[in-house]
A and B are shown apart, each in its own frame.
Chain A
Amino acid sequence: SQKIEQNSEALNIQEGKTATLTCNYTNYSPAYLQWYRQDPGRGPVFLLLIRENEKEKRKERLKVTFDTTLKQSLFHITASQPADSATYLCALGDDKIIFGKGTRLHILP
């Protein structure tokens, strides 16, 4: 069955550094992949979508890469800030969208 794996442990990053989160998937060849942010007690909020023919996508301090050979996406936050602390979810699928368990990111001041 289709599986998405994200770092299950929390990631602690010093303010100003680059945070890198990993999303690996198996038994699937998605046409695109999405990243969402979720704060405690809130619904997920869309950040970026990257298609299979795009190697990299950027939005302000965010950068996503998509390697369909490795079946992996990397999500980078540059110049990280304490306000970036949240859980980040990877999602893929064409109609049935499935999510990973998410990685909790803590940016330390």
Chain B
Amino acid sequence: GAGVSQSPRYKVAKRGQDVALRCDPISGHVSLFWYQQALGQGPEFLTYFQNEAQLDKSGLPSDRFFAERPEGSVSTLKIQRTQQEDSAVYLCASSPGRPVTGELFFGEGSRLTVL
């Protein structure tokens, strides 16, 4: 595709519900990142994939957060038993190779509101 695509763009969940956020990276991009961005803050690192391998998940806030990229392309971020503090914009970014070789391409984000 032309760019990184994220869906849904907006999600409202009741506290305790499970949600799944999808990221379609640019075709052929090896690296994929997930970030969480609260209002007025910078993107906070959640996790990083190289192809299908999850190389770093140190930023996932709790075991309610789970990310996968089973075929090295599309990725899903799942949040179980959502809490109000999970309300944020979740950004996905991809890169052609290892990030050290260049820029990250971001999607427009998925805004999650937990009531």
* Interface bin, chain A: 20 to 34
B65 at the interface (CB under 8 A from A): no
Given contacts A43-B91, A43-B109, contact A97 B98 (CB under 8 A): no
Query: Which residues in B have their C-beta under 8 angstroms from that of A43?
Result: 4, 91, 93, 106-109
Residue pairs across A and B with Cβ atoms less than 8 A apart, 23 shown, are A31-B100, A42-B108, A43-B91, A43-B106, A43-B109, A44-B43, A44-B91, A44-B104, A46-B103, A46-B104, A46-B105, A89-B43, A91-B104, A95-B31, A95-B50, A95-B55, A95-B98, A96-B45, A96-B56, A97-B45, A99-B42, A99-B44, A102-B41
Complex CA gap A46/B96 in Å reads: 14
Residue of A nearest to B106 (CB): A43
A residues whose Cβ falls under 8 Å from a Cβ of B: 6, 31-32, 34, 36, 41-46, 49, 89, 91, 93-102
Contact of B103 among A6, A42, A49, A94 (CB under 8 A): A49
Residue of A nearest to B98 (CB): A95
Complex CA gap A33/B48 in Å reads: 18
Query: Which residues in A have their C-beta under 8 angstroms from that of B48?
Result: 95-97
Most chain-A Cβ atoms within 10 A of its Cβ — which of B43, B44, B45, B99? B43
Residue of B nearest to A100 (CB): B42
Query: Which residues in B have their C-beta under 8 angstroms from that of A42?
Result: 108-109
Query: Which residues in A have their C-beta under 8 angstroms from that of B103?
Result: 34, 46, 49
B58 at the interface (CB under 8 A from A): yes
